[in-house]
Chain A
Amino acid sequence: MEVDKLIQLLKSHKSLNTSVRLGILLGLYYVKSAWFAQLLESTRLNKAELYQHLRVLEKEGYIKLEYIPTVRGKRLRASITQKGEEVAKEVLKLLNE
């Protein structure tokens, strides 16, 4: 694991400079898309905090948020964008994952 290089890389992507946002991005890289409830469980944050983090990632173009109608009402789904995939790939390369 090349930690120094990785920290440098994350400094150039300021919105990813927190463990939670990086975790969300890497998770979405693996699964491509996830429901809000699934992200809530994996991050163990409260709803408001998670929503804020997702909005930041969306604003930077790493993820896409959309409301999907389901049998239980509208649900928020996050999916990774092309830009997000490229960054995640770079991060994982430095992590040797």
Chain B
Amino acid sequence: MKDEAEIKKSLEMARRLFYIKEIDLVRWLLDVYGVFALAIFISTYLLSLFLPRLEVLGIGLLVVSTIDVIETISGLSSPKFADFRKLDPKSISLTIKISIFGLIISYFLFIFHYFFYPLLYLQFILTGVFIELSFSYPIYHMLRKLNEKDHFLIASYVIMGVCVALTPFNYISLLAIPTVTLLYEILRKGEP
């Protein structure tokens, strides 16, 4: 180690690792969210072809999958629920925890919507979530090459917001996305 420039290089490397890990975590969360939503949609659709009492069945599926999602996601915030990826909850920043919170809120809003109007707009909502998931991948890879890591998160939330807006979803859910994005921006300033 000879001079300040080399030290700065080390710091830059450390920051890069921090951002990479954070983005990998967000991508994984979107995967969990999107895959479960798609699984519910397909299962409900297929089973509806054979069974008459669809409302009861649909709600049952949602309850089971919600427990599954919560159990998986809680592994990120509590050591008691350490998951197979062996993530250390202490290493997860507040921004990610807020993202998790945002996803859980929107998930519950989605369930409430389903509960009050069984199957009415389910297809559109889940298609929206799936489109969001699909779009986040190319954006993720594209921006990662350009090393514009912050923009990935913003783009992901914007797409999520657009998809939610295009579907006849509860208006409250629209507030969740910009709030999470804004909080992310504010908190990012305090990160290393």
The residues of A with any CB-CB pair to B shorter than 8 Å are 1, 3, 6-7, 10-11, 16-20, 22-24, 26-34, 38-39, 41-43, 68, 70-71, 77, 79, 95, 97
Give chain B nearest CB distance to A7 CB in angstroms.
6
Q: List 24 A-B contacts (CB under 8 A).
A: A3-B3, A6-B7, A19-B7, A22-B1, A23-B10, A23-B14, A26-B10, A26-B13, A26-B14, A27-B14, A29-B14, A30-B192, A31-B17, A31-B18, A31-B91, A33-B88, A33-B91, A38-B17, A38-B24, A39-B17, A41-B20, A42-B13, A42-B16, A70-B85
How many residue pairs link A and B with beta carbons under 8 A? The number is 88
**What CA separation (Å) do A18 and B16 show in the bound complex?**
17
**What CA separation (Å) do A87 and B7 show in the bound complex?**
15
What 1/0 mask marks residues of chain B from 16 to 50 whose CB sits below 8 Å from any chain A CB?
Answer: 11101100100000000000000000000000000
Give chain A nearest CB distance to B18 CB in angstroms.
5
Among residues of B, the one whose C-beta sits closest to the C-beta of A33 is B88
Main secondary structure of the interface of B (DSSP, over half): helix
